[in-house]
Amino acid sequence: MNTGIVTHWSDSSPRPPYVTIGFTLLCLFLYLVYASLSPIMQQAMIDIGGMQPSVIASLFQQPVSSWWSLPALSLFTALFVHDSWLHLLGNLVYLWVFGMKVEQRLGSLGMMPLFLLGGALANVIVALRLPGLTTPIIGASGAVSAVIGAYLGLFPARHIGLFLPLGLYLQFARVPALFVIGSWFTLQLLYTVFGPINAAVAWWTHLAGFALGISFALAARALSLVRPQSGPPSGI
């Protein structure tokens, strides 16, 4: 019996964001390992898993055949190591806010290279910008910034729900994503240009990842426009 009620639960239900969930669990697991270690072992974990810009910069001065070595893996392993709950949660909140929609659009096979390559390339740019820095860089900031940039490239007209402080109360409002992320990008740019030297690494990582994410999203949109449309011939 047709009740006249149209439901689309089975057709429109999105797939779980497996990549976002997997990267989140990996970051949480490694932080729990880090938190359980002694201070000396924590530093050893950072030294082993972190990316040292000076090492990566010197690596690129060698022949291309020498690039694929153990230090190069730190471009990826550094993305999952965090040294504080604030550092970890700050990245995970942004990953979930923007990552779920991006993964729904790109799919798991698109989200994985966006996160990994976006974060790794952001680390490469930091190494090239600060080749004398010997302090290891850790955290998923570059990768999450790539996800935020991809969100802007894929959904430039979307609105994001925010709770805005109005006196003693919080008012829920939907703000254009372009405004929210554009303000975030402007803040990163100002900190990169005028910020203290000890903040240069973080801001260059954010900016590099953001730019790479936008480029990835625009390339994906361009490919979707030129890809041949599949389907049955008209008239059948």
Is the residue at 35 inside a domain? yes
Domain ranges, residue 58: 13-226
Is the residue at 236 inside a domain? no
Is the residue at 72 inside a domain? yes
Is the residue at 2 inside a domain? no
Is the residue at 232 inside a domain? no
Q: Supply 121's token pair.
A: 């390339």
For the chain, how many structural domains are there in total? Answer: 1
Determine the 3-state secondary structure of 184 from DSSP: helix
Q: What angle do CA 114, 118, 124 make, to 5 degrees?
A: 160
Determine the 3-state secondary structure of 1 from DSSP: coil
pLDDT in tens, the chain (236 residues): 444 443 344 445 678 899 999 999 999 999 999 999 999 999 999 999 999 999 998 888 888 777 777 788 999 999 999 988 888 887 898 898 889 889 999 999 999 999 999 999 999 988 888 888 888 888 888 899 999 999 988 888 777 766 666 666 666 667 777 777 777 667 666 655 665 545 556 677 778 888 889 888 888 888 877 765 545 444 43
Task: Enumerate the β-bridge partners of residue 152.
Answer: none
Is the residue at 177 inside a domain? yes
Alpha-helical runs (H) found in the chain: 9-12, 18-35, 39-49, 53-59, 70-77, 85-106, 108-129, 141-154, 177-194, 200-226
Q: Alpha carbon 18 to chain centroid distance?
A: 15
Is the residue at 212 inside a domain? yes
Is the residue at 148 inside a domain? yes
115: domain CATH number is 1.20.1540.10
